[in-house]
């Protein structure tokens, strides 16, 4: 036996064992599918960050120009929450509509379907981005923005010679707890809307079709809701979590009111919540089945 053959035999005998398909973790395809979404859609974290920067700059200018003693200290921290929720809602809608339609439009679905990742795993990973990752990113960025405003508020008071009237650490932490609770409640409540947008994204044959089939069902529901009862069914699905997750109706113009006590028992006992989650599960399964049949555009 030559030296080369002995060396080759040694390498083969001492090579580390190759993991079989059964040895791979069952969550690995899902994990990498989520990572893929984060790589392909940087707006998931860039949009909230840019919005936070603009809001911070604006409110610092307001603090410098309008620094006066006796102003409501918690008002800016409540307002920025509404701005961040609005930014998340915009990114959320466009992401859901493009999640399954975009890969058919640029024909990358041919490559992704060649990988050992099921259609259900792909759809669930995209749903996880909109229902888990986006709310989490929004919470982190909003909390960081409120903390930056707190320091800016203190510094502005020192610069203009006015006693700083920013809230103390405890109310700020309380606001973060309310924000986290509100984001969880909102995400669970609007889950069927997310699932419907993904089903439209998987089924639609053109970008115009996604917009039409996104708007028309909710217009129909709103019309039926006006005929059946004074409040709209579609409006309840979008904003009903506000009254279900908290003890009472929040102050006008606020979604998450720090002065409104939370009511988790009331929220979890709502039949609309569980019906919506069941509908969301069915629609996500239908989106996975639809993705299996759809071809590139």
**Could you report how far apart the first and last alpha carbons of the chain are, in Å?**
59
Q: How confident is the model at residue 64 (pLDDT cuts 50, 70, 90)?
A: low
Per-residue pLDDT at 279 exceeds 70? yes
For residue 20, the model assigns a pLDDT of 46
Predicted TM-score (pTM) of this structure? 0.77
Whole-angstrom distance, CA of residue 59 vs CA of residue 56: 5
Three-state DSSP at 262 gives strand
Whole-angstrom distance, CA of residue 130 vs CA of residue 125: 9
Mean pLDDT of the chain: 76
For residue 202, the model assigns a pLDDT of 84
Whole-angstrom distance, CA of residue 101 vs CA of residue 155: 48
Per-residue pLDDT at 295 exceeds 50? yes
Q: How confident is the model at residue 135 (pLDDT cuts 50, 70, 90)?
A: very high
For residue 181, the model assigns a pLDDT of 92
Per-residue pLDDT at 281 exceeds 80? yes
Q: How confident is the model at residue 8 (pLDDT cuts 50, 70, 90)?
A: very low
For residue 10, the model assigns a pLDDT of 46
Q: Between 279 and 17, where is the model more confident?
A: 279
Q: Between 278 and 243, where is the model more confident?
A: 278
Q: State mean pLDDT over 162-171.
A: 52
Closest CA to 99 of 138, 131, 129: 129
Lowest mean pLDDT among 47-61, 101-115, 212-226: 212-226
Q: State mean pLDDT over 20-37.
A: 70
For residue 109, the model assigns a pLDDT of 81
For residue 23, the model assigns a pLDDT of 46
Q: Nearest-5° angle of CA 36, CA 197, CA 264?
A: 90
For residue 79, the model assigns a pLDDT of 80
Per-residue pLDDT at 139 exceeds 90? yes
Q: What's phi and psi for 184, nearest 5 deg?
A: -65, -45
Q: What is the pLDDT of residues 188-244, one digit of tens each?
A: 999 998 998 888 888 866 555 566 666 666 666 655 555 545 444 555 666 678 888
Lowest mean pLDDT among 30-34, 90-94, 157-161: 157-161
For residue 215, the model assigns a pLDDT of 67
Whole-angstrom distance, CA of residue 116 vs CA of residue 100: 18
For residue 70, the model assigns a pLDDT of 43
Helix, strand, coil percent values for the chain (each to nearest 5): 75, 0, 25
**Most confident region among 49-63, 135-149, 205-219 by mean pLDDT:** 135-149
């Amino acid at each position: 036996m030559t030296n080369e053959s002995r060396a080759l035999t040694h390498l083969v005998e001492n090579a580390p064992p190759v993991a079989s398909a059964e040895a791979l973790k069952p969550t690995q395809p899902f994990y990498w599918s989520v990572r893929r979404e984060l790589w392909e859609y940087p707006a998931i974290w860039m949009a909230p960050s840019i919005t936070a920067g603009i809001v911070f700059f604006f409110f610092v200018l307001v603090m410098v120009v309008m620094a006066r003693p006796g102003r409501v200290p918690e008002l800016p921290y409540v307002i920025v929450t509404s701005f961040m929720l609005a930014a998340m809602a915009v990114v959320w809608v466009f992401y859901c509509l493009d999640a399954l339609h975009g890969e058919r439009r640029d024909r990358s679905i041919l490559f992704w379907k060649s990988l050992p990742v099921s259609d259900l795993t792909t759809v669930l990973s995209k749903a996880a981005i909109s229902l888990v990752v986006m709310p989490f990113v929004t919470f982190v960025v909003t909390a960081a923005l409120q903390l930056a405003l707190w320091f800016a508020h203190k510094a502005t008071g020192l610069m203009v010679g006015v006693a700083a009237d920013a809230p103390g650490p405890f109310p700020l932490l309380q606001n973060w707890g309310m924000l986290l609770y509100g984001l969880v409640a909102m995400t669970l409540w609007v889950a069927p809307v997310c699932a419907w947008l993904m089903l439209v994204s998987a089924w639609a044959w053109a970008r115009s079709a996604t917009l039409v089939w996104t708007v028309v069902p909710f217009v129909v529901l709103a019309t039926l809701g006006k005929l059946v009862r004074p409040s709209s069914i579609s409006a309840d699905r979008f904003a009903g979590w506000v009254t279900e997750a908290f003890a009472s109706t929040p102050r006008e113009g606020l979604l998450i009111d720090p002065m409104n006590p939370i009511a988790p028992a009331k929220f979890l006992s709502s039949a609309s919540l569980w019906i919506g989650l069941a509908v969301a599960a069915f629609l996500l399964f239908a989106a996975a089945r639809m993705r299996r049949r759809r071809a590139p555009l």
